[in-house]
Amino acid sequence: MDPIEGEGMTGRRRPAGPAVRPARQAGRPRQLSDRTRELVLLLGALVICGYGYAETALALTGKLPSDMVVTCLAAAVLPLVCHVVVRRFAPHADPLILPLATLLSGLGLVLIHRLDIAYGTHFHHSAPAASGQLMWCGIAVVVFVAAMVLLKDHRRLQRYPYVTITVGLVLLMAPAFYPGDVYGAKRWIFIGPLSFQPGEFVKIVIVVFFAGYLTLRRDALALAGRRFLGMYLPRGRQLGPVAAVWILSLLVLIFERDLGTSLIFFGLFVIMLYVATERTSWVVFGVVMFAIGAFVVGSFEPHVHGRVVAWLHPMDIFLPPDKRPPGLISDQAAQALFSFGSGGILGSGLGEGHPELIGFAGRSDFILTTVGEELGLTGVTVVILLYALLAERGLRTALTVTDPFGKLLAGGLASALVLQVFVVVGGVTGLIPLTGKALPFLAQGGSSMVANWLLVAVLIKVSDTARRPPPAPATDVSAAETQFVRP
């Protein structure tokens, strides 16, 4: 006879109680939690950066730097503080985003320290920049912590779209009203002895506005118009916002001579428009519009025209002055190509190259040439893959999160990172004209560092919402409700 349900083989009834959890299979490893994996990856990133810092000093000076212990401790405390804050305020966030940002920032500090030694040897008037960059990393961590604590839910950013776009436009156009320029472009705002680039923050503000705007208007923008060459063109009444953004990007290009910000601004709108509507015609239409505008502006604006000439004829700078193309005045593009070419596959080794020949730009948009010369094609590939992996985590977050605003927000932030890396790497390698933008996390620049860590904070908050487990089902109270009361 089969045993009675709830009884053992002896026929005795077992006492009621919680179900016995089956024992873990022998030999099966226990999986680490997301936060533990994040901590392990953070420690690995810190070890890599510490080794690079020591290796650079040994190769160039033959001894360890005197401030190595203090610098390494300060650089280690900052990401560990971020980890504690993420563990408290975003416990379900993606475990790769913070370690990737930390590794890229640490590699940037190593490269800037390497350039400090080279500039101090060859250009005695050049002040060290690594300590200042570390200070900006600390400020960026403070902003990161504030964003993590104050932003309870990313959907709150959707409440004030017109305030957001007003702030973004003011920041975008403010440099045009400041007299003078820096290195031919107007992208800085000066407040006393301090200066910052509002364009670095505008990309985040614009993503927030576009995400809110397209969430409300995506159905109207997705409507197809006439069919042309196998594509459905946008309807005429829906071209107004695109034309307005196009005109604004051209105004930035004309008055501020900032090709990079203009490209990122318009490219963000087109990419997010495609994500919201899934219509390829918007991408084709946007690329054609920007190409026409950039060609027209580049033909008569001297600074933009000079960058195009340097892109088309980089080696002509070594010709006699009377035989050079008009507008060609810098040898940075040619020196960058020489630097990449001399690096080969594995590079010359940290501290064994001559990246200082590029001049002051080695710490900013041309910092990738230091990687190419001393770490070779392998090092450049690793750096680009780190950016690609960080963007992939953002796109994965966009696919996972359920609300439309969060999808567009995460996708837009990942696209902003990809666009900036593309315009910088493309300009340095000769794929497109130089833009002068800073390489995210890697290059020297306080505004860039703070803005990109703010981007990481928002992305982590969205990923926390996307990866949060569903709430537990309600307890069955039918038994509690069905009770017999003795009269």
Does 6 have pLDDT greater than 50? no
123 confidence band (pLDDT: 50, 70, 90): low
Q: How far is CA 310 from the centre of its chain?
A: 27
Between 131-140, 226-235, 438-447, the lowest mean confidence (pLDDT) is in 226-235
The segment with the largest mean pLDDT, out of 4-13, 194-203, 230-239, 381-390, is 381-390
- 3-class state of residue 185 by DSSP: strand
Per the model's pLDDT, the better-predicted residue between 139 and 14 turns out to be 139
Q: What is the pLDDT of residues 386-403, one digit of tens each?
A: 999 999 999 999 999 999
Strand partners for 191: 194
Structure tokens at 487: 């009269």
Per the CB < 8 A criterion, the answer to whether 299 and 305 are in contact is: yes
Q: What pLDDT sits at residue 286?
A: 76
What does the angle CA 94 – CA 99 – CA 101 come to, to the nearest 5 degrees?
A: 100
The H or E element containing residue 213 is: helix 198-221
Cα 93 from Cα 144, distance rounded (Å) = 14
DSSP result, 83-103: HHHHHHH-TTS-TTHHHHHHH
Contacts of 32 (CB under 8 A, 6+ apart): 40
Structure tokens at 114: 């390497």
CB contact at 8 A, 449 and 105:
yes
Helix (H/G/I), strand (E/B), else coil: 438: coil
Say which residue, 403 or 278, is predicted with more confidence: 403
Confidence of residue 234 (pLDDT cuts 50, 70, 90): low
13 phi, psi to nearest 5 deg: -75, 135
Render pLDDT for 16-41 as a digit per residue (tens, 0 to 9): 444 444 445 555 556 778 889 999 99
pLDDT of the residue at 13 = 47
Question: The tokens 């002055």 sit on which residue?
Answer: 321
Are 223 and 398 a contacting pair, CB within 8 Å?
no
pLDDT tens by residue, 67-117: 888 888 988 999 999 999 999 999 999 999 999 999 999 999 999 988 888
Over residues 38-52, the pLDDT tens digits come to 999 999 999 999 998
Q: What's the pTM value of the predicted model, to 2 decimals?
A: 0.85
CA distances from 197 to 301, 324, 353, 358 (A): 22, 33, 31, 23
Q: Tell me the DSSP string of 118-156.
A: HHHHH-TTPPP-HHHHHHHHHHHHHHHHHHHHH-S-GGG
The model's pLDDT over 280-338, given as tens digits with 9 standing for 90+, comes to 777 787 788 777 877 777 677 777 777 888 888 889 888 888 888 887 877 888 888 99
Contact between residue 462 and residue 407 where contact means Cβ atoms under 8 Å apart: no
Q: Any idea which residue has 């409700």 for tokens?
A: 481
Q: How does the average pLDDT of the chain come out, rounded? A: 80
CA nearest to 430, candidates 374, 368, 480, 487: 368
User: 3-state SS of the chain: helix, strand, coil percent to 5?
Assistant: 65, 5, 30
418-434 average pLDDT score: 89
- Domain spans in the chain, listed from the N-terminal domain onward: 156-300
Q: What is the pLDDT of residue 140?
A: 94
Distance CA 330, CA 124 (A): 22
Q: How confident is the model at residue 227 (pLDDT cuts 50, 70, 90)?
A: low
Amino acid letter for position 296: V
By the 10 Å C-beta count (0-12 exposed, 13-18 middle, 19+ buried), 74 is classed as middle
Task: Give the angle 269-273-278 at the CA atoms, nearest 5°.
Answer: 155
| pLDDT(484) > 50 | no
The residue that leads in pLDDT, 477 or 62, is: 62
Q: Note whether 259 and 310 are within 8 A (CB).
A: no
Nearest partner of 207 among 154, 258, 285, 269, judged by Cα: 269
More confident site: 101 or 125: 101
Tokens, residue 248? 């604004």
**For residue 12, pLDDT beyond 70:** no
Token code pair at residue 470: 């569903």
